[in-house]
Structure 1
Amino acid sequence: MDALAKDPFQNPPPYEKLIGDLSGAHSQRINIQDRLVYEVLQEEQIVRVLRMWTHYE
């Protein structure tokens, strides 16, 4: 979370731009099963976590 707060577009870990219902958000893997989905509010300089979950359930 600290690295995300400093630079939400840091690579590694790689991030993905999402499409569809989560268009405008980004995703980073936490581990092999779980991922973190967040959006960056540039003007407010805020990273808002939308989800932390597994997509295998």
Structure 2
Amino acid sequence: MKNAQLAFTALLLLWSAATLSSPLVQQWRGTGVDADKVFCKYGDGQTVVVSGNQNCPLSN
């Protein structure tokens, strides 16, 4: 039983660390002239433009 508790605690810590370390990404499609572009804004303020039907990369 103690091993199960330790495994659960380790899993919870790893999950929360992975969640907090992932960058926050806002993604939106352009309009008008920029309708074929996808804009990606990361947690550090940098905005990246991706062309076509691609998703934002997880890191900038």
Both structures adopt the same fold (TM-score exceeding 0.5): no
Computing the radius of gyration from Cα coordinates, the structure with the larger value is 2
Tell me the TM-score normalised to structure 1 length.
0.38
Pick the structure with more strand per residue.
1
Pick the structure with more helix per residue.
2
Tell me the TM-score normalised to structure 2 length.
0.37
